[in-house]
Structure 1
Amino acid sequence: MTRLSIPKVTPWLPLLITGVCLGYSTTVITRLPWWALFFIAATWVGVGLKLRWGRPANARYRKVWPWSLLPISLLGIYVYLADSFGNVDLGAVFFHLQAGMAEHGGAGKMLLALTYVLTVSAVLASVTWLSRHDQRWRLSERFFAIALLAANPLLYGIGQRSAAIVTDDGAWLDRRYIEPPNTELADPPNLLLLYLESIERTYANEAFSEAYADLSALGEGGAVFEGVRQMENTGWTMAGMIASQCGVPLMPAGLLHDSQFEPLSKVVPGVDCLGDVLAKRGYRLSFLGGASTQFAGKGLFYRGHQFSTVKGKEELMPELEDPDYINSWGLYDDTLYDVTASEVRRLHEEDDGPWAVVNLSIAGHAPSGFPSQTCLNRQGEFDGQDILYSVECSARLARDFIERLAAEGLLDNTLIVVLSDHLTMRVSVWDQLIALDRDNTFIMLGDGISPQRVQRSATMLDVFPTILDAMGLTLNENRAGLGASLLSSQPTLVETHGLETLNERLREETALQQRLWEGLAPQRREQEATAEQVTETPTDQANEIEIMR
């Protein structure tokens, strides 16, 4: 009887695993189409077989552990982040680790993370096998390890942030910070601030058909701001809200946090934000969001900045008629808008001074969104992937909500702000988006807001003073925080210095970080005492005489 033999899988299998993973990583990090991974993998395997990788002449086996195991693992982390979110923002990684990631709705991300762990483990096993069976790999892979470390954007970013502690000038941004105004309001308007998760204005481009049409129609009755770009540390939900309500980028507490192994107890307590400014003027403040307020310090931020009503998934679910009508993050938008309408009615009926309501929807959340049943009934079947379906849903629900409140007479003397919290992360139309000049949604409606299109080079930092200006507050030099009112002629920091310069300065900044987080006043005073010794270049000083007073 002929004995069955098991075909040899080496070196085919190690070469195939490393080749496919190399190809996939390349397509994730670059703009190459997904099918390019097959060409890269085939080329890798072909070269490996031609050079007899893993089965060289005069093979000498040695049980070694490759130098590249750690660098490969770190690169795997970066590729996972890039695959999940598109652009990797280290600030987001650090902040979420410190503020907490409990009660998140990213179950799909957890499955993807597990897949990555298994895949990277297979790559590590393959590289180990090749190094042990091929002396050429043993000699060369240590240099490969160094190259991987040097090329990893994750480590490059960490190195840049670490270098900030020895920078010559770590207070460039802090010197440009302006405290919010102390002036009073003669006829304080109400404020309705709607954050539409990831619904950037870029979707208004004709490449995305009519997905943004309802927001475009809404903007015809008010001011539409074009050119609100995204600087670093403003590109995720909490960062976008803090930038637009405090006028500062969200610099994580990092080593400035007193208890490194405990969650944050406050979020940016060192600066006055929109809630603080309005609370001083007698406003009743409410925040309503479909997701958990425990995620990423959201509840801590709003409660710590004077919001008396802060409700998310945990607080709102007991009030639902159908507790099963939820998604992995929390409430669907149609439910959330109904709850928000009830809150506005309550505040209106109490008639106990002006109110401000902040709403954070979820329909546009990457990668595919969470369209509600109302949208399914109107738009037809959802394929579970097309983000434009969810964009259309989010835009229509926001427009319907505003028109409903207006029809009930609840928006008299009310400033309405419709805003994306940040640019979207990786979605089904990612390649089309990144080929365009991207900017955030920023629309203002209300009494005294004449229909207009304002084209300015700005960031989310400029939203904060623009809202205060539109509400009738007199600003110091038309500025607040690091932003400038887009209703004024005051140049923004982007117009003066450019976005790249801002990002470079942010990576070196330490004084502003100390301003944001509590317990750092002594360090700030020391820096302020020596600030006059800092010499700026003529470019730094241009158009900023008022700022440096």
Structure 2
Amino acid sequence: MGKISIYAKRALRVLLTILAVLLAVLATIITCSLKWMFDTWSNLTMDELIYHLTSPLEGTNDAMIKEYVVKCIVPAVVILLVLAVILTAFRKKKRYYAVMAGAIVLSVSVSALSVHGAWQALDVGNYVADRGTYSTFIDDNYVSPADVEMTFPQEKRNLIYIFLESMETTYADTQNGGAFTENVIPELTQIAQENEDFSGETDKLNGGYSMPGTTWTIGAMFGQTAGLPLSVSIDGNNMDTQDTFFAGAVTLGDILESQGYSQTLLIGSDAVFGGRELYFTEHGSYEMMDYKYAAQNGLIPEDYLVWWGYEDQKLFEFAKQKVTELAAQPEPFNLTMLTVDTHFEDGYMCEGCPKLYGDDQYSNVMRCSSQQVASFIRWIQQQDFYENTTIVLCGDHPTMDSDYCEDVDGDYIRKTYTAYINAAAQKETETRRDFTTFDQFPTTLAALGVQIEGNRLGLGTNLFSSEPTLTERFGLDTEAAELKKKSQLIEELADIDYDSQSLMEREGRVPTGTVYADPYLRDIGGIPVTVTDLVNLPDTVQSVQIAVWTNEDQSDLQWIQLTDRGDGSYGANINVANYGFKLGVYYIDAYIVDGTGTPYMIGQTTGYVD
């Protein structure tokens, strides 16, 4: 009994030691991670947090990853070492259990306080409540373009639509409606003031509010061209896992395609990311000129890669070539572009970027973007096709950079940059408009000279008209609060396939199992195959099957249905007579077929006949 008691005490001592160390390290990682998170993304919301957590690491600034390691992993290692020293010093003393208990209590308390603070800061309770609540706001106020009469001018105008990554009116100085002491986008400021940003009779810049469902790039692009938030119950950047992208919605691309427009999407990153390729090809049959296109067609070396693909300096050069080609065609064109150098964190400094702001890289990048856009606009205005071409410049969403706007007054409302150049529409009012990026949808068509019955499309309003926007009718806070909730109309238009193979793989929901083949049994002339350890099974399992072949080209492939053994496993014998008693390797792939007939491969193995 004495020995058992000694062993039990030793085991308890070891378990408590391991628990104390693990909890201390975990508490350090949690606390440091939450602090780093709020330092990195100022004014963080749950929508943005979900976006960041589910976004792939491709394109992430290496400096950000290194910063996380330094600020979160290194402290955890230090705590681990310190605790090891303390426990070693007290290991033979009576107070050892007290030290361990203190470490456990302190670790749990610190973790709980950190999580509680983050919960409060992110307003998780209301976020969860909103996600479980349906609102009729979208359903009641959405105007389907399919039900609206639109009249195009006899001579259709060309469109050049440039999404400016993370570009805000905030970056102008206070005198011009921004929030900075020094204007880092003077060229863009002048463009907006000399053209149209719906600021009324003042020179203070005006722009669109970025509403829930539009605060990341594909959400912003969708919002501005469909008049809808990308509010779906999967992360918006997972839309590339779908076979369709809001198939029920009628968008800017759909409308222009029906009018015979040639449409191109020109971007310096991979268009597949976030479902951009799916969206723009499904809604408007856009030609994709992305990073992959540039590499495959000799615009850049095949192994060229900076930032997210290639820099904006090249984007604008490629745009000049493409727009010249499009202008030579008989049909009207829509060239849609997306800049990328101003993406967080701190942007990308190309060779041509001036260093006017010292070590403030993001300001240097913003100024560089402002100059590049202005130069491109001047070039377009010198071309023969400009007379019949409308240019739209819009920031896609407010920046997610961690500290660039940290000194902006909390009462200042940040807006996306907006400018309509050479629009074929006259304003019906000189009132400064209060609008969201949804309003870009009908306003862009109006800028092309299109007459829109009722002046509303999607959740947007034609800003050239005197029709009030939803923001002007309901107020910014009410509109934002309602858009955070679920909508039956959005769910119907999105028609998300939650069981798509790609989505299930990305979310770790794909059925898997263990497949093994026993040695060939001569007395039965077969190879026993068993499938077991099945996880992530669909609600309904129609069958479990194996595909078996011996030829490399699978010319002798045969399907065999396995029998449910009632213990969670499935099995069957491969009748080698069906293969002419062929010697050698038998290749085996196992599949689960769900209730809809969709197969999921769950594992592979090989059998052998000698």
- Structure 1 length-normalised TM: 0.72
> Does the CA contact (< 8 Å) of 1:89 and 1:235 recur in 2?
no
> Are the structure 2 counterparts of residues 62 and 321 from structure 1 closer, same or farther at C-alpha, using a change threshold of 3 Å?
closer
> Are the structure 2 counterparts of residues 256 and 89 from structure 1 closer, same or farther at C-alpha, using a change threshold of 3 Å?
closer
What is the CA distance between 1:210 and its match in structure 2?
Answer: 4.0
Q: 1:393 aligns to what?
A: 368
1:482 to 459, 465, 486: 459
1:24-54 alpha-carbon deviations (Å, 9 max, x no partner) = xxxxxxxxxxxxxxxxxxxxxxxxxxxxxxx
Larger radius of gyration: 2
1:82 to 32, 38, 43: 38
> Are the structure 2 counterparts of residues 278 and 368 from structure 1 closer, same or farther at C-alpha, using a change threshold of 3 Å?
same
Answering whether residue 212 of structure 2 is matched by residue 232 of structure 1, we say yes
Mapped to 2, the partners of 1:175 and 1:305 lie a distance apart of 24
Mapped to 1, the partners of 2:126 and 2:403 lie a distance apart of 32
Ranges in structure 2 where 5+ consecutive residues have no aligned partner: 1-14, 87-96, 175-179, 199-205, 498-610
Answering whether residue 311 of structure 2 is matched by residue 344 of structure 1, we say no
> Are the structure 2 counterparts of residues 473 and 447 from structure 1 closer, same or farther at C-alpha, using a change threshold of 3 Å?
closer
> Are the structure 2 counterparts of residues 126 and 208 from structure 1 closer, same or farther at C-alpha, using a change threshold of 3 Å?
farther
Mapped to 2, the partners of 1:120 and 1:402 lie a distance apart of 50
Answering whether residue 366 of structure 2 is matched by residue 402 of structure 1, we say no
For these two proteins, the number of residue pairs brought into alignment is: 452
Answering whether residue 270 of structure 2 is matched by residue 285 of structure 1, we say no
Q: 1:422 aligns to what?
A: 397
Structure with bigger RCO (C-alpha 8 Å, 6+ apart)? 1
Q: 2:182 aligns to what?
A: 209
Mapped to 2, the partners of 1:81 and 1:250 lie a distance apart of 24
- Percentage of matched positions with identical amino acids: 22
Please identify, of 336-345 and 475-484, the stretch whose mean Cα deviation from structure 2 is larger: 475-484
Ranges in structure 1 where 5+ consecutive residues have no aligned partner: 1-60, 521-549
1:345-399 alpha-carbon deviations (Å, 9 max, x no partner) = 1111121x21111111123222322233333xxx358856432211111111111
Answering whether residue 430 of structure 2 is matched by residue 439 of structure 1, we say no
Mapped to 2, the partners of 1:80 and 1:275 lie a distance apart of 40
Mapped to 2, the partners of 1:400 and 1:256 lie a distance apart of 33
1:211-267 alpha-carbon deviations (Å, 9 max, x no partner) = 21111222243212314222222222112111111111221342999xx99933443
Mapped to 2, the partners of 1:518 and 1:137 lie a distance apart of 50
Mapped to 1, the partners of 2:240 and 2:403 lie a distance apart of 37
2:272 to 294, 319, 331: 294
> Does the CA contact (< 8 Å) of 1:164 and 1:510 recur in 2?
no
RMSD of the TM alignment (CA)?
Answer: 3.6
> Are the structure 2 counterparts of residues 396 and 492 from structure 1 closer, same or farther at C-alpha, using a change threshold of 3 Å?
same
Aligned ranges for residues 75-474 of structure 1 at < 5 Å?
77-92=33-48, 94=50, 101=56, 103-115=58-70, 118-119=73-74, 121-122=76-77, 125=80, 133=99, 135=101, 138-139=104-105, 142=108, 144-153=110-119, 159-164=125-130, 166-167=132-133, 169-180=134-145, 181-187=148-154, 188-206=156-174, 207-225=180-198, 226-254=206-234, 263-317=241-295, 318-320=297-299, 327-351=306-330, 353-375=331-353, 379=354, 385-426=360-401, 429-433=404-408, 435=410, 436-448=412-424, 455-474=432-451
> Does the CA contact (< 8 Å) of 1:179 and 1:272 recur in 2?
yes
Please identify, of 185-194 and 474-483, the stretch whose mean Cα deviation from structure 2 is larger: 474-483
Mapped to 2, the partners of 1:197 and 1:338 lie a distance apart of 18
Question: One-letter code of the match for 1:118?
Answer: I
> Are the structure 2 counterparts of residues 73 and 275 from structure 1 closer, same or farther at C-alpha, using a change threshold of 3 Å?
farther
Mapped to 2, the partners of 1:255 and 1:329 lie a distance apart of 20
What is the CA distance between 1:147 and its match in structure 2?
Answer: 3.8
What is the CA distance between 1:133 and its match in structure 2?
Answer: 1.7
SS of the residue corresponding to residue 263 of structure 2 reads strand
Normalized per residue, the structure richer in helix is 1
Mapped to 2, the partners of 1:77 and 1:263 lie a distance apart of 29
Please identify, of 482-491 and 412-421, the stretch whose mean Cα deviation from structure 2 is larger: 482-491
> Does the CA contact (< 8 Å) of 1:223 and 1:450 recur in 2?
no
1:310-339 alpha-carbon deviations (Å, 9 max, x no partner) = 121111134336678752212221211111
Mapped to 2, the partners of 1:212 and 1:315 lie a distance apart of 31
What is the CA distance between 1:410 and its match in structure 2?
Answer: 2.5
Mapped to 2, the partners of 1:244 and 1:342 lie a distance apart of 26
> Are the structure 2 counterparts of residues 157 and 328 from structure 1 closer, same or farther at C-alpha, using a change threshold of 3 Å?
same
